[in-house]
Chains A and B, each alone.
Chain A
Amino acid sequence: MKPVYMDNNATTSVAPEVVEAMLPYFHELYGNPSSMHSFGGQVMKEVRKAREQVSALLGASPEEIVFTSCGTESDNTAIHSALSRHPDKKHIVTSRVEHPAIRAVCAQLATQGYRVSELPVDAEGRLDLEQYKRALTPDTALVSLMWANNETGVIFPLEKAAEIARERNILFHTDAVQAVGKIAIDLAKTPIDMLSLSGHKLHAPKGIGVLYLRKGTKFSPFLLGGHQERGRRGGTEATSSIIALGVAAELALKNLEMENTFVKGLRDRLENAILSIVPNTKVNGDRTNRLPNTSNISFEFVEGEGILLMMDQYGICASSGSACTSGSLQPSHVLRAMGIPFTMAHGSIRFSLSIYNTEDEIDFVIEKLPPIIETLRGMSPYWKMGPRLCGQG
Chain B
Amino acid sequence: MWDYTDKVKEHFLNPRNVGEIENPDGVAEVGSIACGDALKFTFKLDENGRILEAKFKTFGCASAIASASAMTEMVKGMTVDEAAKVTNQDIANYLGGLPEEKMHCSVLGREALEQAISFYKGAPVQAEEDKIVCECFGVTQKEIERAVRENRLATVEDVTNYTKAGGGCGNCHPLIQEIIDHVLAEAGGALPSMPKLSNIKKIKMIEETLEREIRPALKHDGGDIELVDVVGNRVMVATRGACSSCQASNQTLKNFVEVKLRELVWPELVVEEVSA
Chain A contact residues, CB within 8 Å of chain B: 301-303, 305-306, 309-310, 313, 322-325, 327-331, 342-343, 346, 378-382, 387-393
Q: B137, A392: Cβ atoms under 8 Å?
A: no
Q: A381, B36: Cβ atoms under 8 Å?
A: no
Q: B57, A381: Cβ atoms under 8 Å?
A: yes
- Closest partner residue, chain A, to B41 (CB atom): A381
Partner of B38, one of A306, A325, A382: A382
Whether, in the assembled complex, B32 has its beta carbon less than 8 Å from a beta carbon of chain A, the answer is: yes
- Chain A facing B: main interface SS: loop
A313-B13, A390-B34 are known; give 6 further A-B pairs, CB within 8 A.
A329-B36, A346-B36, A379-B15, A379-B57, A382-B33, A393-B35
Partner of B101, one of A303, A322, A327, A378: A327
Closest Cβ of chain B: how far from A337's Cβ, in Å? Answer: 14
Q: B137, A381: Cβ atoms under 8 Å?
A: no
Partner of B33, one of A324, A330, A379, A388: A388
Q: B58, A380: Cβ atoms under 8 Å?
A: yes
User: Which B120-157 residues have C-beta < 8 A from chain A?
Assistant: 132, 135-138
Chain B contact residues, CB within 8 Å of chain A: 2, 9, 12-13, 15, 18, 29-40, 57-65, 101, 132, 135-138, 160, 164, 167-168
Given A301-B59, A378-B18, A379-B58, answer yes or no on A388-B36 (Cβ-Cβ < 8 Å): no
Given A309-B62, A310-B13, answer yes or no on A388-B168 (Cβ-Cβ < 8 Å): no
Q: List B contacts of A380 (CB < 8 A).
A: 57-59
| Complex Cα gap A303–B29 (Å) | 17
Q: List B contacts of A381 (CB < 8 A).
A: 29, 38-40, 57-59
Partner of B61, one of A313, A322, A387, A388: A322
- Closest partner residue, chain A, to B102 (CB atom): A324
- Closest partner residue, chain A, to B69 (CB atom): A379
Closest Cβ of chain A: how far from B55's Cβ, in Å? Answer: 11
Closest Cβ of chain B: how far from A318's Cβ, in Å? Answer: 13
- Chain B facing A: main interface SS: mixed
| Complex Cα gap A379–B38 (Å) | 11
Given A324-B60, A330-B167, answer yes or no on A393-B31 (Cβ-Cβ < 8 Å): yes
Q: B160, A379: Cβ atoms under 8 Å?
A: no
Partner of B65, one of A323, A330, A379, A391: A379
Q: List B contacts of A387 (CB < 8 A).
A: 32-34
Q: B32, A329: Cβ atoms under 8 Å?
A: no
- Closest partner residue, chain B, to A388 (CB atom): B32
Partner of A301, one of B12, B33, B37, B135: B33
Q: List B contacts of A324 (CB < 8 A).
A: 36-37, 60-64
| Complex Cα gap A314–B65 (Å) | 20
**Can you list 26 A-B contacts with CB-CB less than 8 angstroms, sorted by A residue number?**
A303-B36, A303-B64, A305-B2, A324-B61, A324-B62, A325-B61, A327-B101, A329-B160, A329-B164, A329-B167, A329-B168, A330-B136, A343-B33, A380-B58, A381-B38, A381-B39, A382-B38, A382-B59, A387-B32, A387-B33, A388-B29, A389-B34, A390-B137, A391-B135, A393-B29, A393-B32
- Closest partner residue, chain B, to A387 (CB atom): B33
Given A327-B101, A329-B168, A389-B32, answer yes or no on A309-B12 (Cβ-Cβ < 8 Å): yes
Closest Cβ of chain B: how far from A103's Cβ, in Å? Answer: 15
Q: List B contacts of A392 (CB < 8 A).
A: 32, 138
Q: List B contacts of A378 (CB < 8 A).
A: 18
| Complex Cα gap A382–B32 (Å) | 9
Given A379-B18, A393-B138, answer yes or no on A323-B59 (Cβ-Cβ < 8 Å): no
| Complex Cα gap A313–B13 (Å) | 9
Give the 4 A-B CB pairs with smallest separation, nearest first. A391-B138, A329-B167, A324-B61, A390-B34
Q: B38, A393: Cβ atoms under 8 Å?
A: yes
| Complex Cα gap A342–B138 (Å) | 15
Which of B12, B32, B33, B36 gathers the greatest number of chain A CB atoms within 10 Å?
B33
Closest Cβ of chain B: how far from A152's Cβ, in Å? Answer: 20
| Complex Cα gap A323–B34 (Å) | 10
Q: B12, A306: Cβ atoms under 8 Å?
A: yes
| Complex Cα gap A305–B36 (Å) | 11
Q: A391, B32: Cβ atoms under 8 Å?
A: yes
Closest Cβ of chain A: how far from B237's Cβ, in Å? Answer: 42
